[in-house]
Structure 1
Amino acid sequence: MAFLKRELYRQVRGPEITHEDRSFLAFDTDTKSLYVEREVAHLETGIGGTVEFQTATMDIADYLTLGGQTTGHRELWRLLRALFKEDSDVTGSSRDT
C-alpha cells in the first residue's frame, strides 16, 4: 500500500516534546482515496512515563468544518485553490480553441 502525504499542520507543546498534533493531506494510491489524517502523540515525562499515540482519518469536508480556521485549514484551502486554479486554466484554454 503506497501513500502520498503532505503536511498541513504541526503543533508541538511542552518543554520537552510532551504533546504533538499533526495533520496531513493523504492519498492512498491503491484505493485512490484522498483524505485528511490526524496524528496526536502525548508523552508524560518522568519515571514510568507513558506515551499515547492516536491516528484518525476523516473526509476532507469533515476536516474543513471541524472547529475554527487553523493553520491546517488554511494550508488545505491554499492547496485546493491552487489545484482548481490550474485545472480551470487548462479547461479555459481548451474552450478557447
Structure 2
Amino acid sequence: MAFLKRELHRQVSGPEITHEDRCSLVFDTDSKSLYVLREVAHLETGLGGSVEYQTATMDIADYLTQGGQTAGHRELWRLLRALFNEDGDNSDSECGILLRRTSSQPSADEPRT
C-alpha cells in the first residue's frame, strides 16, 4: 500500500501542553482515491501526562467547505489551480489540449460526425 502525501497545513502550540493539528492531501495509489487526512495530536508533558492522537479522512469538497479559510484551504486551492493550470496559459498542457478538442472542431485524427 503506497500513499503520496502533500502537507497542506500544520499548526503546533506548546510547550507544556503540546497540540498539533496537521492536514495533508493524500493519494492512495492502490485504491486510486484522493482525500484530505487530518491528524490531531495532544500531548501533556507534566507528571502523568497523556497523549491523544486522532485521524480523520474527508472528501476534498468537504474539507474546502468546512468553516473558515485556513492556510490549508489556501494551499489546496493553490495546488488545484496549478493542477488545472488556471493561469490562462494551458497551451502546452495535455489538459488544455483535451479541453480545446472537446470544445472546438474535431482534430484531423478524429472522425467527423
Q: Establish whether TM, by shorter chain, passes 0.5.
A: yes
The one-letter code of the counterpart of 1:49 is G
Q: Which has the higher contact order (CA 8 A, sep 6+)?
A: 1
Alpha-carbon distance between aligned partners in 2 of 1:14 and 1:81, rounded to the nearest angstrom: 34
Structure 2, gaps ≥5 residues long: 102-106, 108-113
Alignment partners' CA distance in 2, 1:72 and 1:64: 9
Higher helix share: 1
Paired amino acid for 2:83: L
Does residue 8 of structure 1 match 2:8?
yes
Structure 1 Cα separation of the partners of residues 97 and 12 of structure 2: 44
TM-score by length of 1: 0.89
Structure 1 runs (4+) deviating above 4 angstroms are: none
- Provide closer, same or farther for how the CA distance between residues 93 and 29 of structure 1 changes in structure 2, counting only shifts above 3 A: closer
Structure 1 runs not aligned, ≥5 long? none
**Within 2, Cα distance between the matches of 1:33 and 1:59?**
10
Q: CA offset at residue 14 of structure 1?
A: 1.3
Aligned length: 96
**What amino acid does structure 1 have at the position aligned with 2:18?**
T
- Counterpart contact for 2:12–2:20, Cα < 8 Å: yes
Cα RMSD (Å): 2.0
Match of 2:43 in 1: 43
1:54 corresponds to: 54
